[in-house]
Amino acid sequence: MLFLFDDLSLDTDRRELRGAGGLISLEPQVFDLLTYLICNRDRVVSKDDILAAIWHGRIVSESALTTRINAARSAIGDSGEAQRLIKTLPRKGLRFVGAVSERKEPMAAPLPLSSGQLTPPVLPVQPSIAVLPFANLSGDPEQEYFADGIVEEIITALSRMRWLFVIARNSSFTYKGRATDIRQIGHELGVRYVLEGSVRKAADQLRITAQLIEAATGAHLWAERYDRKLADTFLVQDEITGSVVGAIEPELRKVERQRAIRKKPETMDVWDQCARGMWHFYQSTAEDNAAAEAFMRGAIDLDPTYAQGHVGLSAVFIQRILSDWSENIDADRQAGYEAARRAVELDDKDPTAHFLQASHSLLNLDHGYSLASAQRAVDLAPNFAMCHFVLGWARLFLGKFEQAIESFQLAMRLSPYDPLTYVFCIHLALAHYHQGHYAKAAEIARTGIGLRPTRMAYRVLAACCGQLGQVSEGQAALAQMRRRMPKDAEKRWDVSYPYADPAHRAAFIDGLRKAGWDG
């Protein structure tokens, strides 16, 4: 269990207390006492309760108990005079009165890597960083979206810096809710630096802490705490970004910070609507997708000129279409395309807007425009994983297979533990298929199926098996594919395989027919 409170985290599984400066040393009994008080924070615990739980009924002097209580308070920045967090009630006992949030979910396990997918991460030549999810210390799980939204803004800003290698949001968020060792994270993600922090939001007050850590040594390079009005959220985001850049590459600070700045909304209400929408978007369910659309439309109603509202709405339609949740795929394709175009009109320097414009252009079979938009996205944010993916996607269906492979592999390096790795695998496998690398393509397709068995992955595997003469496995893959086919499958062919050249489509179908497909 992970307890988060007052800019601190208490991990009962690892028996660790962490603060802005890293691990805080505690004697075992002091750790047990603090844990007991937090776990029983809904009531006053008596001296007898504590003796039974910590000392198992053994006789302990009053001074020894007082020493342990004082040590617990000192460790968390409290004192007997202040009693901010641990309150003494005379003749009654003690109670932990600080706001606490809990996390039960384990950190996602690293995804299996194969020779067909990518090699284990190694440190890039340029400075590299992962921004971990900031802990929500508001004591309200409903504020989770707010902390996540701030981190996403920081990642987006850092991703625009050409000299900095930035791990994608989807990979860094696999560490959400775990006080994992920074050196382990640096090794798993292949980065030199890690940024972590916390957010506390109460009424119109905001406290954000952030610390930049050298992953190899665990040394803190920079740390800061910001106590501001809620209206200053955007200023704090820019200050954190600038401080990170300044700590890593001082001479580039001014130029690169300006590159990272984008148009801010006029009010927090607009940003709040977008942040709530993106929180629902990342839950990846049909119901949350609908909720995300409602929030994005709410943001647009409040400020039609804020590009991020249109960006979010466009993303909602991409997710809906590719996840087979669309009830009117033609209408959703058009609506998503229009939202992306409007986002680009409002902010031509937003890489996400160009990424979505490239995606929707491809779904609408406008291949040339898709390629140009994808290249523009990469030029604006050369370290944004999804920009490289969409560039590979456009290249793949334009027949630029070798270049597509390069783009997919770079996207996977920028986000090595991405929940969408199964999507990367499908398209990387298809690019290798068209290069005639059927065995390698089949291996990658199997990796994708192991991550998430989708009809597209089984279809690619079936085509590979057909070309390899492995008819039995090919037929089994086709059977699995048919089980997952939506009712309007034929209408979705152009969405799944938007080829520009009919010859390439025919080459893919040839493998399917050799496996036994009669569609």
Give 222-260 as a DSSP string. Answer: EEEEEEEEGGGHHHHHHHHHHHHHHHH-GGGHHHHHHHH
pLDDT for position 108: 37
Show Cβ contacts of residue 473 under 8 Å, excluding neighbours closer than 6 positions: 461, 465
Q: For 279-291, write each residue's pLDDT tens digit.
A: 888 888 889 999 9
Q: What is the mean pLDDT of residues 434-452?
A: 93
- pTM to 2 decimal places: 0.63
Q: Are 186 and 127 contacting, i.e. CB atoms less than 8 angstroms apart?
A: no
Q: Is the pLDDT of residue 118 over 50?
A: no
Strand partners, 206: 201, 228
pLDDT at 403 over 80: yes
Structurally, at CATH architecture level, domain 263-348 sits in Alpha Horseshoe (1.25)
Kindly indicate the confidence band of residue 251, based on its pLDDT and cuts at 50, 70 and 90.
very low
| CATH superfamily label, 128-260 | ABC-type transport auxiliary lipoprotein component (3.40.50.10610)
- Using one digit for the tens of pLDDT, what is the confidence trace for 331-374? 999 999 999 999 999 999 888 999 999 999 999 999 999 999 99
Determine the pLDDT at residue 249.
Answer: 54
Separation of CA 319 from chain center:
15
What's at 284, amino acid-wise? S
Cα of 41 vs its chain's centroid, Å: 32
What confidence category does residue 300 fall into, taking pLDDT thresholds of 50, 70 and 90?
A: very high
- Sequence ranges of the domains in the chain: 2-103, 128-260, 263-348
4-45, pLDDT tens digit by residue? 787 678 888 767 887 655 567 778 788 889 999 999 998 999
Q: Could you report the per-residue pLDDT of 489-519, keeping only the tens digit for each? A: 666 777 789 999 999 999 999 999 999 998 6
> Is the CATH code 1.10.10.10 the one for domain 2-103?
yes
Q: Is the pLDDT of residue 110 over 60?
A: no
Determine contact, residues 275/145, Cβ cutoff 8 Å: yes
Q: Give pLDDT tens digits for 43-60.
A: 999 988 888 888 876 777
Of 102-106, 285-289, 419-423, the one with minimum mean pLDDT is 102-106
Give me the pLDDT at residue 77, please.
85
pLDDT for 490:
63
Partnered with residue 129 across adjacent β-strands are 166, 193
The pLDDT confidence band at residue 314, using thresholds 50, 70 and 90, is: very high
Give the residue-averaged pLDDT of 307-334.
91
Please state, rounded to an integer, the average pLDDT across all residues of the chain: 84
